[in-house]
Structure 1
Amino acid sequence: MSTSLAHWIAGARPRTLPAAVAPVLAGTGVAAYADAAVAWKAVLAAVVALALQVGVNYANDYSDGIRGTDDDRVGPLRLVGSGLASPGAVKAAAFGSFGVAAVAGLVLAATTAWWLVALGAVCVVAAWFYTGGRKPYGYLGLGEVMVFVFFGLVATVGTTYVQVGAFTADSLPAALYAGGGIGALACAILVANNLRDVPTDTVAGKRTLAVRLGERRTRWFYALLVLAPAVDFGVLAALTTPWVLLSLVFVLPAGGAAGIVLRGARGPALVPVLARTGIAELLAGVGLFAGFVIGA
C-alpha cells in the first residue's frame, strides 16, 4: 500500500484531514473548563477521530470506485477509480484504519464506560455504509446528517465524557453547543465536495443532498452552514465564558470560502473551498479549546 498511500497523501482529502481533531479540541476544552481534562485520554480520542476519518476516506474510495461513480471524476484523484490501487488493497486500508480507531476506543471504554464500545461500533458501521452496502445512505442525501451527528456531536460530547467521566449539567450543554458548531462546519466540507460533484453524481445516480437541492440552493445551504457556528458559539459564550469567542477566528477562512461558493464557482474551482473550510473547522476547534482553557 506504500504507492497507494503516497497518492492518497498527494490528494485533496488530507487537506481537510486535520479538521478531524476539531471536535476533540472542542470537547477537551469543555473538559478543561470543568477542571477535568485528561491529556492522555484527549490524545486517544484524537487517534480515534483521525483513524475514523482516514477509514471513511478509504471506504468511500473503495465503494465509489467499484460502483463506477468515480469513472469521470472532477475532483482529486481516487485510488480505485483511477486504477492506482486495487479495490482489495483500498478496502484493507479502510478496515485497518477502523481497527486502529477500535483499539484506541477500547482503551477509552475500559477506563471510562463499556457502553462506549457499542457507540464505537455504531460509528464504524455508519462510516462503512455511507457509501458501502447495497443501499448506501450517502446516495440518498443523508450524508450530512451522519457527518453532523458523528463528526460533530458524538465526537465532541464523547471526548468531553471520557475525560469528565459523566454527563453533568455544566459540561453536557457546553459540549452539545460546541459539537453543533463543529458539526455544521464538518457538514459544510461535505456540501462543498458534493456541490463540486453534482454533474458527475447526477449521471452516476448518486443522489446526494446537493443533487436533490440543486446547485443554487446548495450554495445557500453552504453559506448557512458556515454562518450558523458564529451564532452557536455566541450562545455558548453567553452560557460559559466570553473567551469562547476566540473561536470566531474561523470566520476568516470560512468567509472567503463562502464568497467563492456564492459567486458560482464550479468543478475544480471549488477544490480550494474544501481546504479553506477544513482550516475553518480546525481554527474553530483551536479557538474553543483556547477559550475554555483561558476562561477556566
Structure 2
Amino acid sequence: MASVSEWIEGARPRTLPNAVAPVVAGVGAAITLDAFSWWRSVLALLVSLSLIIGVNYANDYSDGIRGTDEHRVGPLRLVGSGVAAPKAVLAAALGCLGLAGVLGLVLVAVSGHWWLLAMGAVCILGAWFYTGGKKPYGYYGFGEIAVFVFFGLAGVLGTVYVQAGSVSWAALACAVAVGCFSSAVLTANNLRDIPTDIESGKRTLATRLGDKGTRALYLALVAVPYVVALLLALFTHWPAGLPILSAPLLVASVGAIRRNATGRDLIPALRDTGLAMLAWAVLAAVGLNL
C-alpha cells in the first residue's frame, strides 16, 4: 500500500503551477474589467487543481496498466512501480475528476452561464482520454495542443468569463502565454521520455519531432510569453510588461535544453518552467492593474 508521501508524489506536485497560473492570470484580467470575485476565483482554482491532479492520477493508471511506465525516468509512478493497486489509483483519478465536475457545476450555476457545462465536460473528457481509452490522443502527438487549450485558453478565459461575463484582448493574450508555458512543461517532460516512449510505442509529439526538433519547440514555446508581455506593454501600458522579469527563472532550463541534457538532467527543467509560468502569471496580474 502506498504511503501518504507516495500518493503526494504520484499527484506530481511539480505540475501544479499549470493549474494555478491560468487562474492567477485570469483573475488579473478580471480585475481590469472591474469584475473580480474572490469566491468565484477560489472555486475556479479548486476546479483547476482537481483537474490536474485527476489527470495525473489518470495518466498514472492508464500508462501503468499498459506497461509504458515500467522503465520511465522521473517522478514516482504509483501503478508502474507497483506501490499502489491500479484500482486505487483509478478511484483517486475518478474522485478528483468528479470533484472538478461538482465544483465546476457550482461555478456555472452561480455565474448563470450554463453553456459552460459543455466546456467543463470537454475538459473532463480530455483529462481522461489523454492516456485513457483504446486510442488515447496523448499517444498520437496531440498532448501539447490539449494542454494549450485546457490549461491555457480554457483556464484563463474561463476564469475571466465566470466573473465578468465577457473576455478581453488582454485576457486572450494571457491565455496564449500561459498555454505556451504549459505546453513547454509537457514538451520538456516528453523530451526526457523519448527513449522509453519509443520503446513502449507511445508516439508523442516529441517522438515524432525527434530530439532536435523537440528542443527547438521548447525554446519557441517559452519565448512566446515574453513576446506577449512586450505586446501588452506596447498596446496597454508599460507596467503590463512586468512578466519579462520572470525570464531569469528560465536560464537554467533553457541552458539544459540547449546543451542537450537528457534523462534525469531534464527534470529540473520541468520545475523551472512551471515556476517561470507562475511568476509570469503573477507579474501579469499585477502589471495589468498598476
Letter in 1 for 2:159: T
- Cα distance in 1 between the residues matched to 2:236 and 2:39: 25
Do the aligned residues in 2 keep the contact of 1:12 with 1:76 (CA within 8 Å)? Answer: no
**Secondary structure, in 3 states, of the residue corresponding to 1:214?**
helix
Letter in 2 for 1:48: V
Q: Deviations over 1:213-241 (max 9, x none)?
A: 00011111101111111001221233333
1:290 aligns with 286
Q: Aligned pair count?
A: 289
Letter in 2 for 1:139: Y
- Cα distance in 2 between the residues matched to 1:277 and 1:8: 23
Do the aligned residues in 2 keep the contact of 1:153 with 1:180 (CA within 8 Å)? Answer: yes
2:177 aligns with 181
Is 1:161 the counterpart of 2:161? The answer is yes
Shift of 1:6: 1.9
- Cα distance in 2 between the residues matched to 1:115 and 1:232: 29
Under a length normalisation based on structure 1, what TM-score does the superposition of the two structures give?
0.94
Q: Let me know the Cα RMSD of the aligned residues.
A: 1.4
1:142 aligns with 142
1:43 aligns with 42
Do the aligned residues in 2 keep the contact of 1:28 with 1:159 (CA within 8 Å)? Answer: yes
Between 1:85-94 and 1:6-15, the stretch displaced more is: 6-15
Aligned ranges 1:158-237 → 2 under 5 Å: 158-165=158-165, 167=166, 171-237=167-233
Letter in 2 for 1:201: D
Shift of 1:249: 2.4
Identity %: 54
1:82 aligns with 81
**Secondary structure, in 3 states, of the residue corresponding to 1:269?**
helix
- Cα distance in 1 between the residues matched to 2:91 and 2:136: 19
- Cα distance in 2 between the residues matched to 1:4 and 1:200: 27
Structure 2 residue aligned with 1:243, among 233, 239, 243? 239
- Cα distance in 1 between the residues matched to 2:175 and 2:196: 32
Do the aligned residues in 1 keep the contact of 2:50 with 2:97 (CA within 8 Å)? Answer: yes
- Cα distance in 2 between the residues matched to 1:211 and 1:249: 33
Q: Deviations over 1:3-41 (max 9, x none)?
A: 354213246921231341101011110110111111111
Letter in 2 for 1:187: S
- Cα distance in 2 between the residues matched to 1:259 and 1:45: 34
- Cα distance in 2 between the residues matched to 1:110 and 1:192: 37
**Secondary structure, in 3 states, of the residue corresponding to 2:168?**
helix
Between 1:187-196 and 1:283-292, the stretch displaced more is: 283-292
1:280 aligns with 276
Aligned ranges 1:258-273 → 2 under 5 Å: 258-273=254-269
Between 1:142-151 and 1:256-265, the stretch displaced more is: 256-265
Between 1:239-248 and 1:87-96, the stretch displaced more is: 239-248
Aligned ranges 1:6-17 → 2 under 5 Å: 6-10=5-9, 13-17=12-16
Q: Which consecutive unaligned segments of at least 5 residues does structure 2 have?
A: none
Do the aligned residues in 2 keep the contact of 1:15 with 1:275 (CA within 8 Å)? Answer: yes
Do the aligned residues in 2 keep the contact of 1:25 with 1:289 (CA within 8 Å)? Answer: yes
2:32 aligns with 33
1:131 aligns with 131
- Cα distance in 1 between the residues matched to 2:235 and 2:45: 26
